[in-house]
Amino acid sequence: MLHKPTAAPKLSALSRSIARSAAARDADGAFPSEAFAELSTLGLLSNPPIQAEKMRSLLMLLAAVGRGDLNVGRIFEGHVNACWLIASYGTERQREIYTEISQGGGGVFGVWNTDAPADPLRLEGRRLVGSKNFASGVDGLSHAIVTVTEEDGRRMIIVPVANLPVDRSWWRPVGMRASGSHIVDFTDVLVEDDWLLGGPDDYIRQPWFVAGAIRFVAVQVGGMHAVFDATVDHLQSIGRAENPYQAHRLARMGVALESGYLWLSRVAEAWQTAAIDTAPDAPKHHLAAAVNGARLAVETAAMDLLEDAERGIGAAGMIAPHPFERLMRDMRTYLRQPNPDGAAAAFGEAIAAGAWVPSATDDLVPE
């Protein structure tokens, strides 16, 4: 087929493998165990590329997983985030423990920050009380990093989650059904000393807290790629891909998708620069601004791409089992990430303050 990628064949193969069970997991809402078995076999649970110098590889990996299934991408992104937090703020012993868990037992980790509004998670002495909601992947995770607010700041706690009470009744979403973002009750869990991760407010340490959003942006770009694939496949199958109106739609979709990948590459460079340049604040401000810009750019591009896909495929794509029906629901749901208006405003403020500039270069201009 004309649109089959010629680059990154291993990532494309991973996307196809993950996609095989996506429709079944959408239908039953179960944890995507087949996809995570594949990720475990490839060593991507035990050794994801979380080092700063490998940031571009990580973002392309997250996009490839999201291209296969946004639900898997959502849960895997949480695992990657947990691995990064443990590597960044954990003790040597904690790093050893959780590396062994992910290697030996295929342990999958998550990060749950959102409190149940009526019963927020808190730490009373050594006992947890309260709940987390949007606890994505709970049915397949071994551990989750949860956050509690104390007098000295926001604290992280690594908790085994296999046997905790789970309320699945509220999770009736339009899309992202297999992400299993349920409500988990931690009441009466006794916290052991080696469950405490890092220090106060390490979880929200900047620029990494804001910049970490680039991981879900990468998964979103992968979701865009899946919609692009489905649209091209459909139009080719009915002999309409070369129709001039459809060709215009495909052109716009190609530009939108490639723009997403280019933003990922630029943020990867900014992340690496901020990680190695510890003296000035400028690279860190630039990184936060670049990620906020990427959030805005990818959301806008994804919505435009979905619109062209819907018009291009037409009503046939709204009827299951057409693959676009599921991809559209998942994409529109996963695009609803927290505080998009704040991210856009922060990007504009960074531009006004000179903390972010376009990536033009004057290296080739003669003096």
Which domains does the chain carry? 9-197 (2.40.110.10), 208-353 (1.20.140.10)
∠ CA(162), CA(167), CA(172), 5° rounding? 120
d(CA 313, CA 293): 30
pLDDT value, residue 282: 82
Comparing 96-100, 295-299, 358-362, the range with the smallest average pLDDT is 358-362
Phi, psi of 250 (to 5 degrees): -60, -35
- 11-58 pLDDT, tens digit each: 999 999 999 999 999 999 999 999 999 999 999 999 999 999 999 999
Tokens read off for 25: 């997991």
What phi, psi does 317 have (nearest 5°)?
Answer: -75, -10
Looking at the predicted structure, is the pLDDT value of residue 366 above 90? no
Grade residue 359 by pLDDT with cuts at 50, 70 and 90: confident
Predicted local distance difference test score (pLDDT) of residue 281: 76
Average pLDDT of the residues in 250-265: 98
pLDDT at res. 280: 67
Supply the pTM of this predicted model.
0.94
pLDDT band at 1 (very low <50, low <70, confident <90, very high): very low
Q: What is the mean pLDDT of the chain?
A: 93
- Percent of residues, the chain, with pLDDT higher than 70: 95
DSSP state of 204: T
Question: What are the CA-CA distances from residue 45 to residues 42, 102, 155, 209 (Å)?
Answer: 8, 6, 24, 22
**Res 278 pLDDT > 80:** no
Over residues 326-341, the pLDDT tens digits come to: 999 999 999 999 999 9
Residue with token string 């954990």: 90
